[in-house]
């Protein structure tokens, strides 16, 4: 029976063989939902993102990457050299016990290590495999390595981001990686539900390209239906006005005037006559957008951000501040949603991390998710404990759940050559 205080996936074992971001995010999301996640890492080096920084935290002799921490909470870490027979045998033992395996190697790399789809099915017919690539597993460019910024450019996201003055601009977070992880976790959840009926596993595939294109929304149909190629418009919506950011005396506010009813409420706050023929209807406001923005900023630039937001809120106009990252994590609303958590890292000690975005509750408000979270692991932190567990749990047919590790292993394997090819 599932212990719902630990999450609906608490009887699921996930092997995370991915590196960098898309795969680790998918695995972390499953871990947030209660799954036991074992991260398999190259001896000595581990996940690429362990070296990405600054900032690093912890002692100089063992610095820990804040980047790595962003995508690896609620996981254990085992070091395995998959070019060695011993490492492959340990992985086979893990696969026999696993429900999900996540990898984001180049197409064919996992096969060359001896773990083709056929071999995985032989080891565990119930296994769900999530494979994430840069540009898809087939097609004329399926073999390309994929990194987020490259995918943002190739998938058109950069062409609609920025302004006419800046030209194409990278989105400030690795959005293709993040969305690929989200789509991957969604696919795995569906595959697990399907397995409950069929008794057999399946292969889930996604890519940075697919994830980025999935975010096109109206910019995609603007071309596919309307035959218009979208251009960057900065912080203002190309088809709705006013819908964007405006300068105040001490920062920026954003407004979303998404209907004529809201325009009637907004115009007096901005010192505009609602029936002004330049701005009376949305097509007029879009046509005269430059004049509209200048008029609004003339009204707002002498006022504080707080005063403008208070007036807009009183008038019933959807609006918000443009917050800096530090403001976000000290905002009462962020804290009320559980979006900042504190965990005890084995090397660094107490650290605060962004929390999971999903909540699940009963009708009376009782949480159905984890009651506590675990810090991202140090490299190889759980190697000995996991190998001991594998040796002690030889009867895999009776396996029905995953014991959680509560203490780090005190020993680590000696560094060996890295085994993984470049990730997607």
3-state secondary structure string, the chain?
CCCCCCCCCCCCEEEECCCCCHHHHHHHHHHHCCCEEEEEECCCCCCHHHHCCCCEECCCCCCEEHHHHCCCCCCEEEECCCCCHHHHHHHHHHHHHCCEEEECECCCHHHHCCCCHHHHHHHCCCCEEEEEECCCCCCCCCCCCCCHHHHHHHCCCHHHCCCCCCCCCCCCCCHHHHHHHHHHHHHHHHHHHHHHHHCCCCEEEEEHHHHHHHCCCHHHHHHHCCCCCCCCCCCECCCCCCEEEEEECCEEEEEECCCHHHHHHHHHHCCCCCCCCCCCCHHHHHHCHHHHHHHHHHHHCCCCHHHHHHHHHHHCCCEEECCCHHHHCCCHHHHHCCCEEEEEECCCEEEEEECCCCCCECCCCCECCCCCCCCCCCCCCCHHHHHHHHHHCCCHHHCCCCCCCCCCCCCCCCCCCCCCCCEC
Catalytic residue among 48, 177, 250, 391: 177
Assess whether 344 carries a catalytic annotation.
no
Residues annotated as part of the active site? 177
């Amino acid at each position: 029976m599932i212990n719902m205080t630990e999450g609906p996936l608490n009887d699921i074992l996930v092997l995370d063989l991915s590196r960098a971001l898309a795969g680790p995010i998918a695995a972390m999301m499953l871990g947030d939902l209660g799954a036991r996640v074992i991260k398999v890492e190259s001896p000595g080096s581990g996940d690429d993102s362990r070296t990405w920084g600054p900032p690093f935290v912890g002692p100089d002799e063992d610095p820990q990457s804040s980047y790595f921490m962003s995508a690896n909470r609620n996981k254990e870490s085992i070091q395995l050299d998959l070019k060695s027979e011993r490492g492959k045998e340990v992985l086979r033992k893990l696969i026999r016990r696993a429900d999900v395996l996540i990898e984001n190697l180049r197409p064919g790399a996992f096969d060359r290590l001896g773990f083709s789809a056929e071999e995985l099915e032989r080891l565990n017919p119930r296994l769900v495999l999530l494979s994430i690539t840069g540009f898809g597993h087939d097609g004329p460019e399926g073999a390309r390595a994929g990194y987020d910024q490259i995918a943002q450019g190739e998938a058109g996201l950069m062409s609609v981001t920025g302004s006419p003055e800046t030209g194409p601009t990278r989105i400030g977070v690795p959005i293709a990686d993040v969305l690929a992880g989200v789509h991957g976790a969604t696919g795995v959840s569906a595959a697990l539900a399907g397995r409950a009926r069929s008794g057999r596993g399946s292969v889930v595939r996604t890519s940075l390209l697919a994830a980025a294109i999935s975010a096109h929304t109206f910019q995609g149909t603007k071309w596919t239906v309307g035959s218009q190629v979208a251009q960057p418009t900065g912080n203002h919506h190309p088809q709705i006005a006013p819908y964007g950011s405006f300068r105040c005396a001490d920062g920026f506010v954003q407004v979303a005037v998404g209907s004529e009813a809201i325009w009637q409420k907004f115009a007096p706050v901005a010192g505009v006559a609602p029936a002004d023929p330049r701005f009376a209807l949305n097509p007029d406001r879009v046509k005269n957008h430059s004049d509209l923005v200048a008029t609004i900023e003339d009204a707002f630039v002498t006022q504080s951000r707080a005063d403008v937001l208070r007036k807009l809120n009183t008038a019933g106009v959807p609006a918000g501040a443009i917050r800096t990252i530090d403001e976000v994590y000290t905002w009462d609303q962020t804290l009320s949603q559980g979006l900042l958590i504190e965990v005890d890292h084995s090397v660094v000690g107490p650290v605060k991390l962004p929390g999971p975005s999903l909540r699940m509750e009963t009708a009376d408000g009782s949480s159905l998710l984890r009651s506590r979270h675990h810090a991202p692991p140090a490299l190889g932190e759980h190697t000995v404990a996991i190998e001991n567990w594998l040796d002690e749990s030889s009867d895999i047919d009776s396996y029905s759940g995953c014991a959680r590790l509560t203490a780090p292993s005190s020993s680590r394997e000696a560094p060996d050559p890295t085994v993984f090819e470049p990730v997607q």
